[in-house]
Amino acid sequence: MPGGGPVGTFSVWDYVVFAGLILFAAGIGLFQAIRGRKDTSSSEFLLGGRQMTAVPVALSLTASFMSGITVIGTPAEAYLYGTPFWVFVFSYAIMSIISAELFVPLFYRLNITSTYEYLEMRYNKLIRIIGTSMYIAQTALYTGMVIYAPALALNQITGLDLWGVLVATGIVCIVYCTLGGLKAVIWTDVFQMVIMLTGFVAVIARGAALQGGLGRVWNDSYHGGRLETFSFDPDPLRRHSFWTIVVGGSLMWTSMYSINQSQVQRYISCRTMTQAKLALYVNMVGLWVTVSLAMLSGLTMYSIYKDCDPFSNKDVGATDQLLPYLVMDILGDFPGLPGLFVAAAYSGTLSTVSSSINALVAVTVEDFLKPSFPWLTERQQSWINMGMSVFYGAVCIGMAGVASLMGNILQAALSIFGMISGPLFGLYVLGMFFRCANSTGGLVGLISGLILTLWVGIGAQLYPPLLEKTFRLPLSVDGCVAPEMNQTTTMTPFSTVLQSTTSMPRPALADSWYSLSYLYFCPVGIIVTMITGLFVSAVSGGCKQKKDRPELFITKSDLLCFRFSGETEMSKPDLIEKESKHVQGLDSPVFCDNEIALKEKDSEKFTKF
């Protein structure tokens, strides 16, 4: 029976399974590149020719969520804090509805490639450049964290050099992302999704067998306080409660799926708007399955280690190494299964990194290069796309070094999204719902929201909340045979370094403002951006300006839309005319199901200013 202490490392068969699965996944991407080699257009590279269907896009959306951070960090979350994280299933549902019913119709109506094109249409070019720059910074740092997570796992259970794994991860992603574009990313994600879910199932099945069934796992988790899922404590300083997750978590995930280029680029690659909406709803089910398997993996880990915590016993050097340690402990006797799990974590990384690189290339080309160099040919753009893929791959590898200093990798990743996506999402909502908002108000609101979220986010990193607010549950080492200091690879979080190297007392804000739940960073950014933006717009004459582009706003007809039974697809000219009437509120009933999707970029009515 597992009980702490040193565990084995990879066998030959583990290396064979791991390498085989990764090479097969990369081969799928390369196959897509070879199959589509005749079409080298920028649209084909960045959007798959806008011919994708719902199911592969949905699996790709879920796979990008299931990064190595999710595979490794979420089970550790359940092990340390219990199942409040499970409440995110409500957040995923709210996010899917808002994204599908508000943002998908808007982006299809405007026929855009980069989500930040909307900011120039609604405000001005400066705001578009700022928004794009914020996205690039956020994605580069997040992707570095995604690369670092599985490298930590590989180091723990294989003994491979940590930085060698980091570089290898980036190189694999660069190869098939550079050659294959979005189609290669999506179809590789589909295979990787299957591998990741299989890895979770293997851990749960073997752990339950060792413990005598899932009933024993559940019973141990109950008595260990791990099943106290719902807490309705309204304290905003509480790390996870029903309110922080449903309110803060819903807004955070909505900001990620509604305006984040990595996600939007996938569903606008669908051939119709109906397919794009369906992709988001299928993705919602995928997220439910993913988080449930991750939680069960964490509870299984607690049931096995409830009397001998490997972290307290110094068997691992970081909580993010707990699940890899468990894998070698319970699956080490089955050659190939540890390799399968590592392939699962690694697949999540390849999925997220490749999609991030593709999205970074898209916003750079659409928001910076095309406006500055409109004379570029398709062939030149194709070479630029591939060159930018290599460049951003190298940047993301470099950012992995920064990620290694940020402590709990799951919380750090979500904090980054809250700090940057919150103000950006507030800017979009301001522009979509409030006609009086002008570019001055939008700019001041965005900067104000960003300053506030960076203030609280960086403060929380420097001065972590006290344990009574994080509610880490108790663990025991009473059952360990011989607690001792083992050799582990540890990268000490920057916050820990700061606390251990300074005698400065905690500032007054450390136990209040800096202890705000990380899930509230996004709502804070949204609220500050919108309130400041509305106030500045009002005093700068925004309400007096004439708004002559009604297609940029959300109207009542967008919220209450339906379709006559038997309604057939219209030709593109008729569709454009119908959309024009729809956005001006002149049609009755409203036809909100755009089946043609305005694929070509020659629709001057919606793409030129």
pLDDT (tens digit per residue) in 149-207: 667 666 666 666 667 776 776 677 667 566 655 666 677 777 777 877 888 898 999 99
The whole-number pLDDT of residue 284 equals 93
8 A C-beta contact, residue 74 and residue 295: yes
Query: How many domains does the chain divide into?
Result: 2
The stretch 4-31 carries a mean pLDDT of 75
Nearest CA to 495 among 472, 467, 461, 469? 461
Most confidently modeled of 30-34, 386-390, 592-596? 386-390
The stretch 204-229 carries a mean pLDDT of 92
The stretch 238-251 carries a mean pLDDT of 92
The whole-number pLDDT of residue 300 equals 95
Of 62-66, 419-423, 444-448, minimum mean pLDDT range: 62-66
Which of 351, 385, 407 corresponds to the end of one domain?
A: 407
Given a cut of 70, is residue 47 above it in pLDDT? no
Q: Which residues of 352-391 are buried (b: 16+ CB within 10 A; e: fewer)?
A: bbbbbbbbbbbbbbbbbbbeeeeebeeeebbebbbebbbe
- Confidence bin at 511 (pLDDT 50/70/90): confident
Nearest CA to 537 among 407, 421, 431? 431
The whole-number pLDDT of residue 136 equals 87
CATH (domain of 173): 1.20.1730.10
The whole-number pLDDT of residue 391 equals 84
Of the chain, the percentage scoring pLDDT greater than 70 comes to 72
Q: 416 vs 411, which has greater pLDDT?
A: 416
CB contact set of 31 (below 8 Å; sequence gap of 6+): none
Given a cut of 60, is residue 264 above it in pLDDT? yes
* Concatenated DSSP letters of 369-400: IHHH-TT--HHHHHHHHHHHHHHHHHHHHHHH
Count of alpha carbons within 13 angstroms of residue 551, beta-carbon side:
23
Domain that holds residue 584: 555-609
Which of 389, 407, 425 corresponds to the end of one domain?
A: 407
* 339 burial level (CB within 10 Å; 0-12, 13-18, 19+): buried
- Confidence bin at 596 (pLDDT 50/70/90): very low
- Calculate the average pLDDT of the chain: 76
Given a cut of 70, is residue 494 above it in pLDDT? no
* 435 burial level (CB within 10 Å; 0-12, 13-18, 19+): middle
Q: 456 vs 571, which has greater pLDDT?
A: 456
**Inside any domain, residue 129:** yes
- Confidence bin at 96 (pLDDT 50/70/90): very high
**Inside any domain, residue 417:** no
The CA distance from 37 to 56, in Å, is 21
What's the gap between Cα 375 and its chain centre? 35
The whole-number pLDDT of residue 575 equals 44
Of 9-23, 447-461, 475-489, minimum mean pLDDT range: 475-489
The whole-number pLDDT of residue 372 equals 77
The CA distance from 262 to 186, in Å, is 11
**Inside any domain, residue 330:** yes
**Inside any domain, residue 456:** no
The whole-number pLDDT of residue 281 equals 93
* Concatenated DSSP letters of 212-269: TSHHHHHHHHHHTTTT--------TTSSS-HHIIIIIIHHHHHHHHHH-HHHHHHHTT
**Inside any domain, residue 503:** no
The whole-number pLDDT of residue 179 equals 61
Nearest CA to 150 among 47, 73, 233, 259? 73
The whole-number pLDDT of residue 572 equals 38
Given a cut of 90, is residue 335 above it in pLDDT? no
The stretch 325-338 carries a mean pLDDT of 85
The whole-number pLDDT of residue 490 equals 41
The stretch 218-242 carries a mean pLDDT of 90
The CA distance from 408 to 318, in Å, is 9
8 A C-beta contact, residue 328 and residue 5: no
The stretch 92-110 carries a mean pLDDT of 90
The whole-number pLDDT of residue 221 equals 93
**Inside any domain, residue 521:** no
Given a cut of 60, is residue 392 above it in pLDDT? yes
The stretch 312-316 carries a mean pLDDT of 84
Looking only at Cα atoms, what is the longest distance across the chain?
77
Given a cut of 80, is residue 576 above it in pLDDT? no
CB contact set of 195 (below 8 Å; sequence gap of 6+): 21, 25, 340, 343, 344, 347
Which of 407, 434, 456 corresponds to the end of one domain?
A: 407
Count of alpha carbons within 13 angstroms of residue 441, beta-carbon side:
28
**Inside any domain, residue 567:** yes
**Inside any domain, residue 302:** yes
Given a cut of 60, is residue 491 above it in pLDDT? no
Given a cut of 60, is residue 329 above it in pLDDT? yes
Q: 506 vs 36, which has greater pLDDT?
A: 506
- Confidence bin at 550 (pLDDT 50/70/90): confident
